[in-house]
Structures are given as structure tokens and as C-alpha cells.
Structure 1
Amino acid sequence: MAASGMKLAVAVACALALASACHGLQLGYYKQSCPRVEAIVRDEVKKFVYKDAGVGAGLIRLVFHDCFVEASVT
């Protein structure tokens, strides 16, 4: 279980690092319209990563490709 927690921590750290490179993503963006959205999404992602650690890698790839496409177009 500790290895799973470490994988989650690494996946989240990588996703955050990649997300910060995207200009369209901003922490607290939905603070007014849906204040708990970030906690809800985090909890749901945790559930799925604990079930299947490969989900974390898929999310990192998704964020990377979204940022890459955004950077290429602009």
C-alpha cells in the first residue's frame, strides 16, 4: 500500500508540474461557481488511482498532450 501511495504522490506531482505549464489552467478557477470542485475531482482521481495505478500515468499523458497541443497552436 505504501508503494501505491508513493506512486500517487509522484503522479500528482508530475500532473501539477505539467499543468502549471499550461496557460489555461489555474488553481482556484472555479472558486466562485463551484467551490468544492477541486476537492471532488481530487477525491475521485484518488479512488481510481488506488484501484488501478495506470490511471495516474494516463492522466499525466492527457495533461501533457493537452498542454502540448495548446502550446503548438498559439
Structure 2
Amino acid sequence: MPRKQMPAIARDEAVALYRGGRSMSSLARKYGVSAGRLTRRFREWGEPVRDHAAAQRARRGMTLAEWRRRVDLPP
């Protein structure tokens, strides 16, 4: 069975939305692909992908520096 082609994704739009705080899962739903496939595409583009902790902070609207101040960690 032939492999399904990944739909064309507007790179600039996807990256802007992700940097703006959208999750990889929500973007994957928007573009009709799995989060894993979209993550691979971001890595192919050379875009950094948030780890789980960074994703949690983004969900709460905090930067790493803000989170460190909140939990009283050194910068």
C-alpha cells in the first residue's frame, strides 16, 4: 500500500502559530496530520520543538524565566 502523502503545510503560518503558544496537537488537528508527523516536519525545517515542560509552561502563558522566578530557581 503506498504511503499517504503529507498535505502541504503553510510553514510560516504553522511556525508563527506554534511560536505564539499553540500546541503541536492543535496544529496537527488544524492541518489534518498526526502530532508526530508535524513534529518531524518542524525538525526538518530547523525549528525548535518544545519539550513537555516547556509545553506546560506555554499552556500556562509563562516564559522559562517567569517559571523559574515562580518556583524560586536561579536563572
TM-score by length of 2: 0.28
TM-score by length of 1: 0.28
Higher relative contact order (CA 8 A, sep 6+): 1
Considering fraction of residues, name the structure with more helix: 1
- Considering only CA atoms, is the larger Rg found in Structure 1 or Structure 2? 2
